[in-house]
Every structure is written in C-alpha cells, then in structure tokens.
Amino acid sequence: MKPRLLCLCFWVYMFRPSSDLVAQTIPVSLSINTATPGNRIHDDFVGFSMEQYTLSTGRWGNLGSFWMGGTNGNARLKKLLTNISPHSVIRLGGFTADDRMVWQNAPRGTSTNVRATYSDDTDKFFTFLSEIGWKGIYTIGLPNNTPANAVSEATYIMNKYSAQLHSVSLGNEPYLYTNIYRDAAYNPETYMQQDYLPMYDAIKAANPAIPISGGDNGARKYYGAQNQTWNKSYTDYVNNSGSSRPLAALNVHSYGLGNNATVLSRDAAADTLMNFDNAPLIFKSTLLPYVTQLAQTKNVPLRFSETSSAATGTSDTTNVSHTYVSALWALQYLYTLASSGVSGVNFHSSGTSVYSAIDWGTSNTVASYRIAPIYYGMLAFADGARNRRLLPVTPSESKRSPRASYYATTSDDGQTVTVTLLNKDFTNSIDARVNIPGMPIGTATYQTLKPQNGRYDYVATISYANAQVAADGSFTKGTPTAISPASPTSFSVTVAPMTAVIVTVSRQVPPTAGSGSSPVNNPGGITLVNVPVSAFTSTSSSSAGSPATITSLRITAFPTNTTSLTVNTSVYTTASPEFSGANPAGVPIPADGNGNPTVPIGVDPTDDVSPVTISFRAIDNTGQESANTGTATITPAPDLTPILYARPTTVNGSAPITVVVDVVEINSIPSSGLITIKIAKTNAVDLSFDAGLTRLDGRSVQNSLWSFDRNSSPGYYVLTTSQAVAAGNKLSLGLTGMLTAGATSGDLTISAVLMGSGGEVRVNNNTDADKINVFPN
C-alpha cells in the first residue's frame, strides 16, 4: 500500500492550487501620503563609475582616450549620460587606480605607456565633464604612490578644474591590499596611519579647499577572518563630526550578487536580486542599515561610489547581469538606497564586464559605448524620481503573492506625484488600486519598463516607455498610456509579471473664479433686480482644469449695496447665519459646469443708482474650491425713452412741418455710448436736417450734437450722437420738411425708434409717434 500512498501524495502536491503554479491577477490596494514628503533625489543621485584606466585607453590594452572616443563615439557617450541626468557624477577609480595608473605631471607627448596618467589625459576627462555639465570623483592611487606625487596630481586638478571636481578619493578597496600590495598583517589601523592619513594630510596642507571623499570599501561591517571594521575605522579618523579631517562623502561599494554569481543557479541569482535579502548577502536588513547609520553618526554624505549587480567581471556564469532581471533590480535598488538617505549611486562599468551599465566594447567606433539592461532601469528611475521627494507608500512591499515593491515621489510644488509599481513576481499580475488622499487627480498616465519575451531577455528586446536607446545614444520616450481615475483621488492599473509601471499623476488644477459685470434696469423702490448670468462670467469665465467642470459657486460675503439677497426662493440679509462670523459659510449656487448659475438670483439694492457686487468662489466636481475670489457686479443702467412732437397737427393740402424728438433719461443714471434714433420715412413727407438749429417750434434742440443720415436706410432717417444724456435730463433734435397731402386724407403718423443704445437695458419704452390730420385741397 505504501507505493499507492506515495503516488497519491505526489498527485495532491502536483495539482494543488498554488500562486506559484497558476498565473493569477492579484488585487493590491495602496495608499500614498502626500503630507509628509521625505528625502529629495537630486540631479546627481544617479551616476556612473569607470575604471581609472579609461584615462589612457579607449579599450583594454590599446592607447587612446575613452573620453574622446572614436568616430562619433564621444557624442554617443555624452547622450547616454545626459539621458540619465543633466548634472551628475562620474567616479573614476576601481582596481586600476591602484594597480597601474601612476601620475606623471607632464603632457603625454609620444609616450605609449597606458599604465601612466599624464596631465593631458586628465585634461580630456575634465573637459568632457565640462561639456556635459557633470562632475567627477577622481581616484588617486594609494599603495604604489607617494604623498608628494598625490599632492601634485590633486593640486593640478583643483587648480584647473575645481568647477568640475566633486572630490578626490585616495585608493580603492584597501581591505584587498593584504598579500597584494601589503603584508598579511595589514589592517584598518595600519592602513590609516601608514598610508591614508599621510597622503590626506599632505593634500590638505597644500590646499585645504580640495574636497576629499573616500573609504571606497565594501558596504559591510566586517571583512575577512579577523572581522575587521574598515568603514568604522576609516570614519573614526575622517568625518564631519568632531574631526579635524573633513570628508566630502563616505564612499562605499556594493554588488547585488557579490561574488556568488558563479555558484548560484540562474533562477537563484534572479531571486537573490529580486529579494534583496537572500543569503549570503543580507543587504536590505543588515548591510544597508549599517553604513547608513555610520554615515549619519559621522555626519557625512553616503555615496555608493561603485556598485552593480555582480562583482565577478566576465565570469557571471548565471548570466543574469546582462538580462532584464538586472534592469528591474537596478530600479528597485535605486529606490531602496534613496529611501535610506543615500546621497548618490555610481554604477560601475569595466570594459566588457557583464555587470557594466555602459561598456566600451571591442572597437573605437560609435558602437563602443554599449548599454546593458541595467541602463533601462536607470532611465525608469530618473523618469520617476529625479528632482523629486520620496513619499510614504502603504504597504511599501509584499514578499510574495505578489512579490512586489511600491514607491512614490512628488514634485517640489506638490502638483505631480509619480508612482512606481515593481512587480517582481515571475508569474502573477497585479491589479493595483492606488489611493492618494487629499490629491484630486487631474490626469494620470503611465510608462512601462518591460522585456519583450521574459525576464532573461537581453538588451535588444528591453524597452522603457515604449522606446529604446537610439544608435546615436539619444532616448525619446513614447506616448504614455492614459488612465481614467477610479475616483477623484485614486486610479487603478495592471502590472504584468516582472515589469515596472511608472505612473505620473497630475493634481487637478484648482478652479479659477471668474468675474463679470452686467448693466441692469433698476426701477427703484423695493422691486427685486435679477442678476444676469453674464454678471458672473462676462469679464472672465470660471474655469477648472480638464477634465473637471465648475458645478457650483459659493457666495462668500453678503453683496454690497444690498438690502436683501434672494437665491431661488431663499431670502438672505446681512443678519443671516450664512454671512455671520469670522469665516462665514456663504451660500452655495448650483452651476451648469461652465460656472453659470442655474437658479435665479435677485437683489434689492439699497441705493438704486450704485453698483451691487457679489463675491464668490468657484467649486469643481472634485470638490476643490478656487483660491481666488471672483466678483459679479450689476450696474444700474440708464433708461432712455423718446418723445416725438410733429407740428402742425392739421394740414390742408401742402404745408411745411417740424418734427422734434426729445431723448429723455428716466432712471437718474447718465447714458454712455452711442445713441441712435430712427424716424420712419413716408411718401407724403420729405424731412431735412439743419445742424445749426438750436430752437424749433419753441423747443430747445441740440442739432449740432447729432449726425444725420437720410440715405443708408431706405425706410428711415437715421440720427446718431455720442453725447451722454445727463441723469434725469434730455437731449433733443429737430427736423423740418414739407408735407404734401395730395388726395390723401386722415391721420398721418410720424414715428421714432430709439435703438437700445446709450447703455440702457430696458427697451420696451423705446418708440413714440405723433399724428397730423391731413386734408386734401
């Protein structure tokens, strides 16, 4: 029976439900706290580290200059660097800084010695930096050098290139000097006393302003069988906390796989990079806290001056360093270091080593500056984090189902939040619902870091933002994918296995309250005056950032020059609670989406001849209220009415006649603007206009203020004036002519129309007429 039982157990194991065996889409809910921004990620956070050997060679063993490059090579390298940042740091160092690069304080001339650094080799490097706006950490060899020669090298650089110098560093990974440059008894104390401090002190004595960074040990607490504390011993002597020897930065080195890429399987190496805390390198919970705490205690900036995925040169037998896995690792790694307060990170490149983010290949052509998958992780990080502040995300990660990490940053003005969602799960997708309380979302778009086929894709099939690096080194992102917000303060996005989504969220722009002014007819007394919609929008309409709309207004204060305010059917006075207290609630007004009120608003002016001003704010459909206060002003308008006199009142046959029109203002408001009177033409009457007339038929006229047009309109005589009619006064005009009755008898009507002018609003009293009784001969 045992064989059957074993078979049954095997069947149960193979067919059990498991997130590791069956691909799932796992829902995740995240919350971002925008109220407590953290560390700022500056321009110089992400940089590169290159071997010191590049000063003399463009590729291993051949004299040339990496910093000049071959045909167009230099231009490609510049673009590859400035894609990451317009202002960052290149660190020159590595094993070759100590092993072979000896300073010669003279131009190279005809020398072909690639194991020496000449002054013009250094010139090329710093000139290159000046052309791209970057700075350099320059390593001066330690074990095969003298303090005097180090002073010569450091002062040469400082005197010529202080603007491009981040700092000089002295030596590289001194814990490896034992049995190579020094005897077996070499330890941190002998390193500091015999080698480092004499060189440091000599340089500072020559010029105290020369910035020195250093250490350049691995990011560990203990090294070797003797458990030596190289980083602590170093910072005990050189620090910014009570020491007389200041430090520009504590430089440490770290590799994601350490030297274990030769002993792990491919999937195990990938797991190590994705998990960060796999044995034997317990990086996130042990190594990183140690060096960050040490830097904080010694009050020095912490820089990972040499780092990458593996420290095994060309012997990464797992071959993950040159695959997409390392791109996703680099993105997570950079966020992890930034979140821990690290000030900068330099990805190391060493010839054609598999971990190089940029290598220089096998030729001095444009192709000599090749990128690796790590470079795309750096691009994604720069897009989501450069010149932004970190924000807390809850939860920040999950270890499994799904294996994922989540990060967020904000622009300095708080108007943009970028969310980076890393799905490190080999199988499962993530359906992420991201909440950003207190941040109404205006727009949300995302870009993706992804492989074409899978996690072990090489660089040719890896992309970020639907784009790849061009042959000339340039990088242009593709069009992002838009996301429709799930709510005013949240969005949802799906993240495929082993991809990263970088979401850019723009804060909904607060609405702007408009302003307007509109003339109204105020009949006086206690009659309610309706406030036109145009009073809220005629000068500038209230507006909201797309896609929001203005759905309401809030009257913030009781209107000026007002006895009562009526909104729809509700009546308010100065004593109403809505307008009382230090911060009155005001009165809400529904709007049509464009800021136009949708309910009637009326006021009873206190003074019938003075304006009424209503102060208000605009509110959009996300609930945001405008920061500014708009005004709706109604201005009492004049009311003009014509009175026409035709004389004589009776005509037998033919006779001369006169027509006088008084334009009378009856609202006690002076008119403004053009006034137009039209007098109807008839076949029996021919009228003419004398601009010199001042009286006609005993009535005062001001013909000199009027213009007369008898021809432009076939049915009317047209008279115009720009003269204002004074409040409660009149302006008159007179015409003369001949009436010829002929065989006609009866009433002949002569009429005038005032064409809604002079600034008036009321137009239902703008006509008048008079009659003449006509009899034939």
Token pair listed for 361: 């290949």
268 and 138 assigned to the same domain = yes
CA distance 339 to 329: 15
Judge contact between 134 and 48, C-beta under 8 A: no
- Of 636, 658, 688, which residue is a domain's last? 636
Tell me: pLDDT of 213 over 60.
Answer: yes
Segment 564-580 mean pLDDT = 96
Binned at pLDDT 50, 70 and 90, residue 573 comes out as: very high
Asked if residue 221 and residue 97 are part of one domain, the reply reads yes
The reply to whether 598 and 707 lie within a common domain is: no
Over range 130-156, report the average pLDDT.
97
Same domain, 264 and 178: yes
In a domain, residue 470? The reply is no
What pLDDT score was predicted for residue 488? 87
CA-CA distances (angstroms) from residue 282 to 216, 267, 295, 341, 375? 20, 18, 19, 19, 24
State residue 136's pLDDT score.
98
The predicted model gives 24-33 an average pLDDT of: 97
Rounded CA Rg of the chain: 43
Contact 150, 204 (CB under 8 A): no
Tell me, yes or no, whether 182 lies in a domain. Answer: yes
Torsions phi, psi of 218, nearest 5? -65, 155
Domain endpoint, select from 292, 317, 350: 350
Q: Using 50, 70 and 90 to split pLDDT, how confident is the model at 727?
A: very high
Q: Summarize pLDDT for 684-695 with one digit per residue, the tens.
A: 999 999 999 999
3-state secondary structure (DSSP) of residue 38: coil
Three-state DSSP class for 155? helix
Q: Are 497 and 425 in contact (CB under 8 A)?
A: yes
644 and 629 in a common domain: no
**CATH number reported for the structural domain that contains residue 299 in this entry:** 3.20.20.80
Q: Which amino acid is at 73?
A: G
**563 compared with 310, residue with greater pLDDT:** 563
pLDDT at 427 over 50: yes
208 and 304 in a common domain:
yes
Tell me whether residue 117 is in a domain. yes
Residue 36 CB partners (closer than 8 Å, separation 6+): 391, 392
Domain count of the fold of the chain: 3
Reading the block at residue 734, the tokens are 């007179």
Helices (H), 487-638: 534-537
pLDDT at 10: 33
Give the pLDDT of residue 72.
59
The reported pLDDT for the residue numbered 447 is 98
Domain check: are 632 and 686 in the same one? no
pLDDT at 232 over 60: yes
Ranges of beta strands (E only) in 201-249 are 212-218
Q: Which residue has the higher pLDDT, 16 or 393?
A: 393
Average pLDDT estimate for 473-488: 95
φ/ψ (deg, to 5) at 369: -105, 85
Count each helix (H run) and each strand (E run) in the chain, helices first: 13, 48
Q: What percent of the chain lies above the pLDDT cut of 90?
A: 75
- The rounded distance, in Å, linking the Cα atoms of 404 and 430 is 9
Given a contact cutoff of 8 angstroms between Cβ atoms, the answer to whether 572 and 604 are in contact is no
Bridge partners of residue 169, in order along the sequence = 139, 213
Q: Indicate the pLDDT class of residue 349, thresholds 50, 70 and 90.
A: confident
The C-alpha atoms of residue 724 and residue 745 are separated, in whole angstroms, by: 40
- Least confident piece of the model among 118-122, 195-199, 274-278, 414-418: 274-278
138: helix, strand or coil: strand
Average pLDDT, stretch 708-729? 96
For the stretch 673-682, pLDDT in tens is 999 999 999 9
- Whether 629 and 694 map to the same domain: the answer is no
pLDDT-derived band at 623, boundaries 50, 70, 90: confident
Sheet with 640-647, edge to edge strand ranges: 640-647, 654-665, 730-740, 685-688
Q: Are 618 and 761 in a shared domain?
A: no
Q: Quote the tokens at residue 290.
A: 């140690």
User: Rounded mean pLDDT of 384-411?
Assistant: 96
Residue in 751, 691, 689, 684 with CA at minimum distance from that of residue 716? 751
For the entire predicted model, the pTM comes to 0.78
Same domain, yes or no: 208 and 329: yes
Cα 736 to chain centroid distance, Å, stands at 73
> Structural domain of residue 574, as residue ranges?
516-636
- Cα three-residue angle 748-750-752, rounded to 5 degrees: 160
Question: What CATH number is attached to the domain comprising 757?
Answer: 2.60.40.1530
Amino acid 60: pLDDT: 46
Of 350, 384, 401, which residue sits at a domain end? 350
Please, which pLDDT band fits residue 13 given cuts at 50, 70 and 90?
very low
Of 90, 107, 244, the closest CA to residue 169 belongs to: 90
Based on the domain organization, do 645 and 625 belong to the same domain?
A: no
CB 207 within 8 A of CB 201: no
Q: Is 208 found in the same domain as 130? A: yes
- Domain assignment present for residue 54? The answer is yes
- DSSP string across 682-725: BTTEEEE--TT-SEETTEE--GGG-EEESSS-TTEEEEEE-PPP
Q: Of the given ranges (61-70, 119-128, 557-566, 714-723), which has the lowest mean pLDDT?
A: 61-70
| Predicted confidence (pLDDT) at residue 352 exceeds the cutoff of 80 | no
E strand or H helix that includes residue 187: none
% pLDDT > 70, the chain: 92
Are 664 and 638 in contact by the 8 Å Cβ rule? The answer is no
| Number of residues in the chain | 777
β-bridge mates for residue 634, sequence order: 518, 612
